[in-house]
Amino acid sequence: MTRLAQCASLAEVRHNIDRLDRQLVALIAERGAYVRQAAGFKKSAEEVPAPQRVAQVLAKVDALAVELGADPAVVDATWRAMIAAFIDAERLAQAAMHPPSPQPH
């Protein structure tokens, strides 16, 4: 884990949390851009959820949580929520890139 500065006040703690939140949102935006790219490689909505990939990601971040000293429960809950939201976003992106073929009447 990165060595933390010892804060002298609650304001300083909040400043550091705000700084980290900005970095996290930037990383989520970057991750989202890759999710949109992934949507382009998937030809159907059924390919989007990718449960085996989700399991791989969760196992990886669970191990990283232990390695880096993060609370495993917080990391797991955060990633599960993030993955669910990205799956929804990817479904929308995939549908926009690969609209269904018109059915003959």
What's the rounded mean pLDDT across residues 35-53?
A: 91
Residue 25 scores a pLDDT above 90: yes
Helix (H) / strand (E) element for 102: namely: none
For residue 62, what are its two tokens? 């669970």
d(CA 56, CA 47) in angstroms, rounded, equals 16
Residue 30 scores a pLDDT above 70: yes
Residue 48 scores a pLDDT above 90: yes
Q: ∠ at Cα 33 (59, 76), nearest 5°?
A: 25
d(CA 83, CA 54) in angstroms, rounded, equals 8
Contact 93, 35 (CB under 8 A): yes
What's the rounded mean pLDDT across residues 5-34?
A: 97
What's the rounded mean pLDDT across residues 42-67?
A: 95
Q: For 60-81, how does the pLDDT look when each residue is reduced to its tens digit (9 = 90+)? A: 999 999 999 999 999 999 999 9
Name the CA dihedral angle for 44, 48, 53, 55, rounded to a multiple of 10 degrees: -130
Q: What is the pLDDT of residue 1?
A: 57
Q: For 95-104, how does the pLDDT look when each residue is reduced to its tens digit (9 = 90+)? A: 888 777 777 7
d(CA 42, CA 78) in angstroms, rounded, equals 25
